[in-house]
Amino acid sequence: MKIDSAVIKTLSLDPAKTTVAKHGGSGFSTTAKITTTLRDGTEKIFFMKTGKGKDAEVMYAGEHASLNAIHTVPSLCPASFAHGPLEDAAGGAFLVTDFLDMGGTSSGGEKWSGMSLAAKLAKLHTTPAPIPEGFSKPVFGFPVPTCCGDTEQPNDYTESWADFYGQHRLLAILKKSERTNGKDPTLRSLVEMTVTKTVPRLLGDHHLNKGKGVTPVVVHGDLWSGNKGRGRIGGTGAVEDVVFDPSACYAHSEYELGIMRMFGGFGGSFLKDYHEICPKTEPVDEYEDRVNLYELYHHLNHHAIFGGGYKSGAASIMRALHRNPSGRRRPFYTGIAQGFLPYHTPVISIVRQFVKSRNQEAYNELSIYAKRSLESAEESAMSRFEEIGKAEGLINGAEIGHGRMMEL
C-alpha cells in the first residue's frame, strides 16, 4: 500500500522511512496505519482514513475539528493532525490522527490508569465552549458541519439552544428523511409539533436553569458504546478510557446522553459518577423528558439512514412527550428495556468484539445474530405482548442492534 503524496507533504514525512498498511475497517472509509521515523530518530504511529468524493471531505473536516475540540481534555481522544484532498487519487480525501492501540491492558500488563470516562466526559461538559470569532460569548453550533453516521449536520452558530436543536437537528434530519424515504405527512406533523411546542417548553432559554439558560459545551455527538473503549493513544503510554469517531458541536451537555441511552453500554455507576461532577440541569424533574427528547434525534437519524422500525420509535417518543409531559418513564421505554434485554448482552458482546478486531468473521457473526434477534423479536412481539408499547420496544430493541451492525 502506497502513501499518498499529499499526506507525505502535509506531515513532512520521509518516504524512505515511512510505511503504510491497511488497519481495521470502517463503513465509510478505508483505514490504515502509518509508521514513520521522525527527524530526531523517534518512531511515530499515525492512523489514516481515506475516502472518495465531497462527502468524504466534509466528513473528515468535521472529524478533524471534532477530535481537536474534544482533545482539550487530556487523553480523552486521539488528536487529529491533518485532513484534505489526496494528490495521487483524484477526488479522494484523507484524515490523519493519532493511532489508537485498543486493549484493556498496557504493554506492562497493568490496568488502565488516569481519569475514568465518566470523569473525563464530565470535565468536557463543564468547560464552556470557545467563543467564536464575531461573538462576545459562547454560542451553540460548530465551526464546520459534522457527520453523524453519513448524515451531514448543519452547525450554524445560534444563540438559542432551543432554536439550534429544533432547526439544525430535528427539522434538518426530517428533511434528509424525506429525501431518502419519501414524504411522510404523519412524521412531518409530529416533528413540527415537537419543534413548535415540546422543544420550547423543555429547552427554552427562559425555562432552563431558572431562566439562566445553559452554557454551550463541546459534546462528542455520537457517543454510543461502539465509539468508546480503552486504549493507548499513539500506541504508547498507559491505557486510558477513550472516545473516537466524534460528531461534535457546542451544545447542552445533556444532549450527549440521548444516544448513550438509546444504545446502552454506560451502566453501573457511570451516570452517578458523571452527574457528581456535571449536575443535571434545572428543572431536574424534567431531566428524563429532556434526555428522551435528545434521544429522538438519533431515532430520526437512523430512520433517515436505515429506514425500518426507527420511525415507530421516533413517533412513540414524540407522542409520549406531547401526551404526558411529566418526566415519568413511559410504556414505550419499559418496552425497550423488556424487549431488548434478551438480546442486549450477546449483541453488545459481539459488537465489542467486532469493534476491537475489525475482522470479517466477527462481522458475519454479528450480522447473523442481529438478524436472528430481529426475527425472534418480531415473532415474540406477536405472541407474547399485547401492549403496543412493549411490542414496539421489543422490535425496536433488536433493530437498534441490527442498525448499528450495518453502520459498522
Q: Is 253 part of a structural domain of the chain?
A: yes
Q: Is 64 part of a structural domain of the chain?
A: yes
**Residue 262 and residue 404 in one domain:** no
- The predicted pLDDT at position 112 comes to 56
- The predicted pLDDT at position 377 comes to 52
Residue 131's alpha-carbon distances to 188, 217, 362, 405, in angstroms, are: 34, 11, 44, 37
- The predicted pLDDT at position 384 comes to 39
Distance between CA 351 and CA 366 in Å, rounded? 7
Burial class (CB in 10 A: 0-12, 13-18, 19+), 392: buried
183: left (phi over 0), alpha (psi -120 to 50) or beta: beta
- The predicted pLDDT at position 382 comes to 40
CATH code where residue 236 lies: 3.90.1200.10
**Residue 44 and residue 163 in one domain:** no
Q: Helix (H, G, I), strand (E, B), or coil: what is residue 81?
A: strand
Distance between CA 111 and CA 101 in Å, rounded? 14
Q: What is the pairing mode between strands 80-85 and 92-98?
A: antiparallel
Q: Is 72 part of a structural domain of the chain?
A: yes
**Residue 296 and residue 393 in one domain:** no
**Residue 278 and residue 405 in one domain:** no
Domain with 43 in it: 5-98
Of the candidates 326, 150, 125, 117, which has an alpha carbon nearest to the alpha carbon of residue 219? 125
Q: Is 319 part of a structural domain of the chain?
A: no
Domain final position from 63, 98, 133: 98
CATH code where residue 22 lies: 3.30.200.20
Q: Is 318 part of a structural domain of the chain?
A: no
**Residue 391 and residue 275 in one domain:** no
The one-character DSSP state at 289 is H
Q: Is 145 part of a structural domain of the chain?
A: yes
Domain final position from 307, 340, 374: 307
Domain final position from 98, 117, 134: 98
Q: Is 124 part of a structural domain of the chain?
A: yes
Would you state the cell numbers that stand for residue 40, as one nine-digit string?
530526531
Please identify which of the residues 98, 222, 241, 245 carries the catalytic annotation. 222
Q: Helix (H, G, I), strand (E, B), or coil: what is residue 339?
A: helix
**Residue 117 and residue 230 in one domain:** yes
**Residue 80 and residue 108 in one domain:** no
**Residue 361 and residue 233 in one domain:** no
Q: Helix (H, G, I), strand (E, B), or coil: what is residue 341?
A: helix
Q: Is 315 part of a structural domain of the chain?
A: no
**Residue 89 and residue 103 in one domain:** no
Domains: count for the chain: 3
Burial class (CB in 10 A: 0-12, 13-18, 19+), 114: middle
**Residue 351 and residue 261 in one domain:** no
**Residue 244 and residue 274 in one domain:** yes
Burial class (CB in 10 A: 0-12, 13-18, 19+), 376: middle
**Residue 247 and residue 228 in one domain:** yes
* pLDDT block averages, 10 residues each, the chain of length 408: 94 95 84 94 95 96 98 93 96 96 59 82 98 97 97 98 99 98 96 97 95 97 95 87 97 98 92 98 97 98 91 94 63 41 46 50 54 51 41 51 51
Find out whether 167 and 155 touch, Cβ atoms under 8 Å: no
- The predicted pLDDT at position 390 comes to 45
Task: Reply yes or no on whether 222 is catalytic.
Answer: yes
